[in-house]
Amino acid sequence: MNNSSIRENVLKQIKERGIEPTARWKFVVKNSALWMIAFISFAAGMLAVSTLIHTTNIIDWDVYKYLGRSYAEHAAIVFPYFWFAVLAIFTTLAYAVMRITKTGYRHTKLAFIVAGMFALIVAGSGLYVLGTGEYIDDTISEYSSFYTQLPHHKINIWSRPEAGLLSGTITRIISNNEFKLEDFSGHNWTIEEGDVRWRRGSSRKIGTKVKLIGLQLNENIFVVNEVRPWVATPLPKVK
Could you tell me the sign of the dihedral formed by the alpha carbons of 9, 11, 14, 15, in that order?
A: negative
Taking every pair of Cα atoms in the chain, the longest distance, rounded to a whole number of angstroms, is: 103
* DSSP-derived secondary structure letter, 65: G
Average pLDDT value for residue range 17-41: 69
**Number of domains observed in the structure of the chain:** 2
Average pLDDT value for residue range 27-56: 85
> 85 lies in which domain range?
24-148
**Do residue 36 and residue 126 come from a single domain?**
yes
**Do residue 176 and residue 212 come from a single domain?**
yes
**Do residue 114 and residue 218 come from a single domain?**
no
Task: Judge whether 74 lies within some domain.
Answer: yes
Q: What is the pTM of this model?
A: 0.77
CATH of the domain at 222: 2.40.50.140
For residue 33, the model assigns a pLDDT of: 78
Phi, psi of 164 (to 5 degrees): 95, 15
Residues 66-99: tens digit of each pLDDT: 998 999 999 999 999 999 999 999 888 887 777 6
**Do residue 42 and residue 93 come from a single domain?**
yes
Confidence of residue 235 (pLDDT cuts 50, 70, 90): very low
Burial classification of residue 133, based on how many CB atoms lie within 10 Å of its CB (0-12 exposed, 13-18 middle, 19 or more buried): buried
Going by their DSSP bridges, the two strands 178-182 and 188-198 should be labelled as antiparallel
Helix axis angle, 81-99 to 24-58, nearest 10°: 160
Residues 92-111: tens digit of each pLDDT: 888 777 766 655 556 666 76
**Do residue 113 and residue 68 come from a single domain?**
yes
Task: Judge whether 212 lies within some domain.
Answer: yes
Residues 174-214: tens digit of each pLDDT: 998 899 999 999 999 999 998 899 998 888 899 999 999 99
What amino acid is encoded at 32 in this protein? S
**Do residue 31 and residue 143 come from a single domain?**
yes
Task: Judge whether 184 lies within some domain.
Answer: yes
